[in-house]
Amino acid sequence: MKIIDLHSDTILGMKMKGEENFENNEFMIDLTKLAKGESFVQCLGFFDFKPMSNYDYEVFKQGEQFAEKIFAKYADKLTIVKSVKDIAEAENSGKQMFMLTKEDIGCINSDLNILKAEYDFGYRIMGFTWNFENCVGFGNSTDAVVREGSPTVYPHMNDGLKPFGKQVTEYMNELGVIIDCSHLSDGGFWDLIDISTKPFIATHSNCRSICSHVRNLTDEMIKALADKGGISGLNFCPEFIDEKTGCTIEGMIAHLKHMMKVGGEDFLACGTDFDGIGGELEIPDFSKIQLLIQAMETAGFTANQIEKFGYKNAMRVFGEVIG
Ligand SMILES: [Zn+2]
């Protein structure tokens, strides 16, 4: 089953370690593992980590410069897709497809021209915040809270988007950028439900009613997002699947069943968070991802539902928003 994975942190992880081998490395994602796992489109997240960049655009761009070097080195083996047409054209080229995504848009610093420059660079999915307050709004937890695996609620959890965040929503709708709410405060999420005229998505979030972590979505959020045509990518992070048992395939199936029960089969998607997560994972890297597909078959998901999870729902949203 071909897979669209909506979130990974591989490229900046490689930059931090000075790893320039993308064909076969120690990360959870590389070209060999993607081929083995039947990747269709892999989203590559570019993370603006405030303690490192202080939301300085020039510092953030160093990550892009590293990525461009990797893309050039493997130009005969990979391609960056920016539209459904690009995907259709590249599908049989034998090249691995990647879509560029941003996690935290803090470095635009209230400047829509920078947002446009980032769109021109190639990003088609952009997360409003990570865990820090920025020019558009507030995150849904602090970094410290996530590291401790604690579901403690962040004081700004119910704060909505800032006025500039509302402007950015409208601009992203107009440009054709998919908004990612995965790290956004609950208040910001509900503002997006009110304001966004296009479907938006959670690239890597699970169900809060199964695993009570602030990074997961409540049933009310799943319902509202599904009604808007949105999707959520199943996150493999142990703390977001089950505090006690961690990342088991059984636990992942429980989240998928619940997502489907509350949001319907059109809500399912995959968002591994590979190379952004640690701990014991029953699916330790992308090469083993078909184990989850087999488990879905065993658990009684229909072939159509599995295809929707694998890539069809993501392709639908790409078509509706990016074009
Ligand atoms: Zn994340």
Both tokens of 12, joined, read 């900046």
Both tokens of 283, joined, read 């699916």
φ, ψ for residue 123, nearest 5 deg: -65, 135
Give Cβ neighbours of residue 54 (< 8 Å, ≥ 6 apart).
none
Residue 83 region, left (φ>0) first, then alpha (ψ -120 to 50), else beta?
beta
Distance 182 CA to ligand 1 centre (A): 7
> What pTM does this model have?
0.96
N-terminal to C-terminal alpha carbon distance within the chain: 24
Determine contact, residues 4/41, Cβ cutoff 8 Å.
yes
Distance 93 CA to ligand 1 centre (A): 31
Domain residue spans of the chain:
3-322
Both tokens of 270, joined, read 């995959």
Determine contact, residues 277/237, Cβ cutoff 8 Å.
yes
Distance 114 CA to ligand 1 centre (A): 22
| Summary count for the chain: helices (H), strands (E) | 15, 8
Distance 166 CA to ligand 1 centre (A): 22
Q: pLDDT tens across 226-265, in order?
A: 999 999 999 999 999 998 999 999 999 999 999 999 999 9
Distance 92 CA to ligand 1 centre (A): 31
| Cα distances (Å, whole numbers) of residue 215 to 42, 155, 270 | 22, 14, 15
Distance 63 CA to ligand 1 centre (A): 17
Distance 249 CA to ligand 1 centre (A): 20
In this prediction, residue 142 has a pLDDT band, given cuts at 50, 70 and 90, of low
In the predicted model, what is the mean pLDDT of the chain? Answer: 95
| Closest to 118 measured CA to CA, from 51, 130, 110, 126 | 126
State yes or no: pLDDT of 36 exceeds 60. Answer: yes
Distance 7 CA to ligand 1 centre (A): 8
Distance 293 CA to ligand 1 centre (A): 23
Distance 274 CA to ligand 1 centre (A): 10
Both tokens of 105, joined, read 């848009």
Determine contact, residues 127/6, Cβ cutoff 8 Å.
no
Distance 235 CA to ligand 1 centre (A): 9
Distance 49 CA to ligand 1 centre (A): 11
Q: pLDDT tens across 87-126, in order?
A: 999 999 999 999 999 999 999 999 999 999 999 999 999 9
Distance 273 CA to ligand 1 centre (A): 7
pLDDT at 289: 98
Distance 9 CA to ligand 1 centre (A): 8
pLDDT at 141: 73
Give Cβ neighbours of residue 211 (< 8 Å, ≥ 6 apart).
239, 240, 241, 242, 243, 255
CA dihedral 138, 142, 147, 152 (to 10 degrees): -100
Distance 175 CA to ligand 1 centre (A): 23
Distance 209 CA to ligand 1 centre (A): 19
Specify the fold of 3-322: TIM Barrel (3.20.20)
List alpha helices for 238-312, DSSP H.
Answer: 238-241, 249-263, 290-298, 303-307
